[in-house]
A and B are shown apart, each in its own frame.
Chain A
Amino acid sequence: MADTINAPGAPGAPGKPGADTNSNGLGSPGNPVPDDMASAIDVKPYTVADHDNTTVDSGAAIPVAVDYVEAQLVELWRDVAMAAQAMGGSQSVTTAQVLNLVVRAKSYKAANSHVEAIELITGRHPSRVIVAATDQEDAEMPVQAWVSIHCQLPPSGGRQVCCELVTVAAGSESERRMAAAIIPLLLPDLPVFCWWPEGDPFDEYVFRNLSDSLNRLIVDSAHFESPEGTLSKMSTQLKTQWPKLAVTDINWGRLTPWREMVAGFFDAPNMRPYLDRIGHVNIEYALTPEHHGHVNRAQALLLAGWLASRLGWETADNIYQLIHSETSPVPRAHLTLRSGKRNITVDLNAVSRKTDTPGDIYSIRLEVPGAQPGSIPAANFSVSLTDREDACAVMRVESEGSSATERTIQLQPLTESDLLDEELEVYSHDVVYEDALSVVGAFIRGTKHTSKSTPMSHKVSSGEPISAAQAQQPRGRPQGPISRGPGG
């Protein structure tokens, strides 16, 4: 590319993002910067136009030659500082950045929605954000870049916090060269996070070519095309191919409140012995009407995998069965595990319910059977969402010989921003997740079908095949030491 800087709207500006500028202005539906969040000073909203032409905005991001991004950012910072001075601000704009965040978007439309989520957390994670977007229309489009700086005014009315946004886009044919444009743009000596909101990254050029530069990969198994297949693949391939890469799953974050609630039953020392007597676990997960036919058991499996790994339950061959019944369109997943001489059965049932994310947990119930005299009495521990629309759950303990206790607690649904926010706090491997994932892999590889017909929902595929040359690329080179943030 020519090493010229294109002013917004100047002749010769690349014709894609922001080129079809109109004056919809702030507040148009789908604008990523809500009015109340927008800074009073020079906001340069993200303006990559999506191709159905519904979100086009004024104040286009500045198209820039890929090798000129840094210089352009310096200019933008100067603009922001001058605007701040013009507003009479006494303090200089601080350019503190704590991390790099690479975001994969399969389209401009997706890019816009991911950037919306990121803007909400700019305050806690001032970062350089690099969106790797695919131009769906022009497969031949070479790698191009756009830059802008976003300033976010905290809702409470503090100072604005700014984050740098670079969009690197390419047509599907040029995607393999995208990583080469991204790597030099990473801020030195700060950790690199990669958020992969859609699908499975492991066979994509962008990920494979970037993987050596990444510290932490954040996937979302709620949006895997074949969740069980990919989870199983992750449980084995991550260890062998990318041992240094810390991987986590947004879906695992969705389980955090559930794990806390379940753990909460056993915080009192006198309740802990029950953990050694659990005989049956029943997990219900949501089968969202609009996702009908696309069963996603990822959360339910990870929750079961977590219990099994923390409590030392052993898996065996053929422990995972899909049991069909007349009453439900979705087969019940049934697992049998062992702990010493004790058998533990786990059922994963689909229930029809409207949720934001496919496969959200609806309830969990741990059952402790009554046993020999002198031992602990039978008890059940359950957490279940209420059916009301008030975002609450009921925690219930029933035990033999005493009355049941019940407690209603708030369970605010976590937005994608909340979840991403949490994942960005941690730089290192999440051992608890990795343990749970290993067990889930073991569950799935032991799959055994008991019904006559092949279940429609359970297909194990491994995504697109990769070439032998790709497969031989060296991966997982050790990363340098990572500096930790305050309190990290």
Chain B
Amino acid sequence: MVTVLGTPVVENPLRFGLRMRRTPEPCVLVLFGITGDLAHRKLLPALYNLSVERRLPGNFSLVGVARRPLSHEDFINGVKESVEKYARNKPSQRPGVWASFAQGLSYVQSNFDDPEGYKKLATQLEQVDQERGTLGNRLYYLSTPPDAYPVIVQNLGAAGLANTRPVASPNGNGSNIHQPLPQTDTSWRRIIVEKPFGHDLPSAQQLNRQISEVFQEDQIYRIDHYLGKETVQNILVFRFANGIWEPIWSRRYIDSVQITVAESLGVEDRASYYDNAGALRDMLQNHMMQLLTLVAMEPPTAFEAQSVRDEKAKVLRAIKPFTPAEVAQNTIRGQYGPGSIYGKPVPGYRQEQGVPPDSETETYVAARFFVDNWRWSGVPFYLRHGKRLPKRDTEIAIQFKPAPLALFQATSADELQPNVLVLHIQPDEGISIKFESKLPGQEIRLRSVDMNFNYGASFGVESSDAYERLLSDAMIGDSTLFTRRDEVELMWQLATSILEGWKRIPPPTFPNYRAGSWGPAVADDFIARDGRTWRRV
């Protein structure tokens, strides 16, 4: 490889105007837990797809770290097998392309708490830098059980692998501007942390502390793969690329917001994790709160990491954590019993494999939040999520206030439906607006019509994979779609206040809803107290 030169660095003039997103600088991805399920099903296929589609630098290299002893051949074959199975692009189609990718792969066997292993890793990384010209740029990816995070981070620090002189993070909009820094090391070190990020506020704070002893905040990329979904990013486009919504996007015109994440699946093979986590930790605390922030945030000053995340954090700060008394009034939990889904009988939660028969873990959660700021004061945000609901559906429904006067006498006031704007996220992405229209005939009778813009029907394409997007963002240094420290802690603060409250009130008798129903009856009563009903999704 060519020697590093001490010449001032300038932007690559040949990149100008190329429509494909810029490719990251040469770098090494160090994947801890490379023998795990996530790595094999998602990460390695995503990396290979990126590589084949020329979104990775030519000399991109990957060093896998795991406990299992593996020969180089076995390691390569294992990766190849998974890529063949799960990636869009198959190694067998183009052996030459695979061979080039495989040249950059290597494996370091080590226990995560063994300092010797990190010495081996350091030697390996230096060798890769030398042989493949990766310039000391490193992205660590923690795809291990979460209890291994602190020890890995500590050891990376102790082995001197975390700290080059911390480089000012390139601004987040993907235009990686290299400061002219003659004669110095411009290499970077970043770390991606998978979820779950802690299991309550103290554990999340502790983990943040432990990581920040070694890495600076702008080196840390906390993944929430929901944000990598194109559909979720489209919420921002819908809100901030259209001028007509902003004036009515406030308490003056909006009555309430409902965010629904319905799953028809049960716990599947995740019982051991899920029974310790529950619906609140698994879904509401992270993904659903992220959706809420995207709906409620103020327009950011720029579409870049700090501005966007500043606004999201402000929303979270405006939601007051519950006191134990408020928890009882503002949340509902449930657990499914036996029932049927799509006409097939399914067992109850306590009968699922790996779940204790007396489990008190919730599989359904509903909550009401208020965002106490000028825009949203008094507007309730209803969030609900459950497993084994009748169908899979994720949507955000914004209900507007009704017309102030019932002008058309032939239709009684209670037949008059309020306008609803729905952002559909899964499985069919789209936007629909419900409004009143006249039924054909001499009399004026009203009927609600649903004007539906279906993303899939208008653009018949598959959206890109969330992990591909997030991996390449992290390599480029764009953290817009990653969760910042304050966001994580604020989200945990809210969730922890609920968990604390639940500890103090006697748990409901589980199971309290049938698999295949829309959740416990108490949830309907809960929203009915406010004079509202859950939307039928």
Q: Chain A: residues with CB nearer than 8 A to chain B?
A: 91-94, 96, 98, 122-124, 126, 152, 154, 156, 158-161, 256-257, 259-275, 307, 310-311, 376-377, 379, 386, 388, 390-392, 395, 397, 399, 401-402, 405-410, 422, 425-426, 430-432, 486-487
Contact = CB atoms under 8 A, between A and B. Distances in A.
Interface stretch (B2-10, B204-212, B381-389): B2-10
Contact of B234 (A270, A407, A486): A486
B424 to A, nearest CB: 11
Nearest to A257: B54
Interface of B: 1-5, 7, 9-10, 12-20, 22-26, 52-54, 57-59, 89, 93-97, 99-100, 103, 132-133, 135, 178, 186, 234, 237-238, 241, 452-454, 456-462
Contact of B135 (A270, A399, A425, A432): A270
A397 B2 contact: yes
* Interface-central residue, B24, B25, B96, by most chain A CB under 10 Å: B96
Contacts of B26: 267-268
A377 B5 CA distance: 11
Given A257-B54, A392-B94, A310 B16 contact: yes
B135 A264 contact: no
A256 B20 contact: yes
B5 A270 contact: yes
Given A94-B453, A123-B459, A256-B20, A267 B15 contact: yes
Contacts of B97: 392, 408-410
A436 B25 CA distance: 26
A403 B16 CA distance: 30
A487 B459 CA distance: 13
B58 to A, nearest CB: 5
A388 B7 CA distance: 40
B96 A390 contact: yes
Contacts of B135: 268-270
Given A91-B452, A263-B15, A267-B26, A123 B20 contact: no
A395 B97 CA distance: 11
Contacts of A124: 459-461
A486 B455 CA distance: 11
Q: Give me the 9 closest cross-chain CB pairs, A-B, nearest first.
A: A123-B460, A432-B17, A269-B9, A263-B14, A408-B96, A96-B458, A154-B460, A161-B460, A159-B457
Contact of A260 (B20, B96, B132): B20
A33 to B, nearest CB: 15
Given A256-B18, A408-B96, A487-B237, A161 B457 contact: yes
Contacts of A91: 452, 454, 457
A314 to B, nearest CB: 15
Given A260-B20, A264-B54, 17 more contacts: A123-B461, A124-B459, A160-B457, A160-B460, A267-B25, A267-B57, A275-B12, A311-B13, A376-B2, A377-B2, A390-B95, A392-B96, A395-B58, A408-B99, A432-B16, A486-B234, A486-B237
A401 B1 CA distance: 9
A126 B459 CA distance: 7
B178 A269 contact: yes
A409 B100 contact: yes
Q: Which of A91, A265, A270, A390 has the most CB of B within 10 A?
A: A270
A444 to B, nearest CB: 22
B47 to A, nearest CB: 14
Nearest to B15: A263
A416 B53 CA distance: 19
Nearest to A395: B58
Contacts of A406: 100
Contacts of A392: 94, 96-97
A268 B178 contact: no
Contacts of A401: 3
Contacts of B462: 154, 156
Contacts of B9: 269-270, 272
B527 to A, nearest CB: 26
A297 B194 CA distance: 51
21 contacts: A92-B452, A94-B452, A96-B458, A161-B460, A260-B18, A262-B14, A263-B18, A264-B57, A267-B23, A270-B2, A377-B3, A379-B2, A391-B94, A395-B58, A397-B1, A402-B1, A405-B58, A408-B96, A410-B53, A410-B54, A410-B89
Nearest to A161: B460
A234 to B, nearest CB: 18
A126 B458 contact: yes
Contacts of A98: 458
A159 B457 CA distance: 5
A160 to B, nearest CB: 7
B12 A267 contact: yes
B453 A96 contact: yes
Nearest to B2: A399
Contacts of B452: 91-92, 94
A158 B456 contact: yes
Nearest to A122: B460
Nearest to B11: A272
A390 B94 contact: yes
A397 B5 CA distance: 17
Contact of B461 (A96, A154, A256, A388): A154
B176 to A, nearest CB: 9
Nearest to A156: B462
A391 B103 CA distance: 20
A161 B462 CA distance: 13
A156 B427 CA distance: 14
A273 B6 CA distance: 10
B460 A152 contact: yes
Nearest to A398: B2
A477 to B, nearest CB: 27
Contacts of B453: 94, 96
A141 B8 CA distance: 67
A260 B54 contact: yes
Given A94-B454, A266-B14, A273 B7 contact: yes
Contacts of A92: 452
Given A96-B457, A267-B25, A256 B1 contact: no
Q: Which of B58, B186, B453 gathers most chain A CB within 10 Å?
A: B58
Contacts of B459: 123-124, 126, 161
A272 B176 CA distance: 15
Nearest to A153: B460
Contacts of B1: 397, 399, 402, 405
Given A124-B461, A408-B96, A409-B54, A264 B23 contact: yes
B18 A410 contact: no
B241 to A, nearest CB: 6
B71 to A, nearest CB: 24
A329 to B, nearest CB: 32
A208 B460 CA distance: 34
Nearest to B457: A159
Counting chain B CB atoms within 10 Å of each CB, which of A267, A376, A397 scores highest?
Answer: A267
A55 B25 CA distance: 51
Contacts of A422: 19
Nearest to A95: B458
A408 B17 contact: no
- Name the residue in B1, B132, B454, B460 with the highest tally of chain A Cβ atoms < 10 Å from its Cβ: B460
B94 A159 contact: no
Contacts of B103: 407
A169 to B, nearest CB: 28
A407 B100 contact: yes
A190 to B, nearest CB: 13
A257 to B, nearest CB: 7
A392 B453 CA distance: 40
B14 A159 contact: no
A280 to B, nearest CB: 17
Given A377-B2, A402-B1, A432-B17, A159 B454 contact: yes
Contacts of B460: 122-124, 152, 154, 158-161
Nearest to B459: A124
Contacts of A257: 54
B70 to A, nearest CB: 25
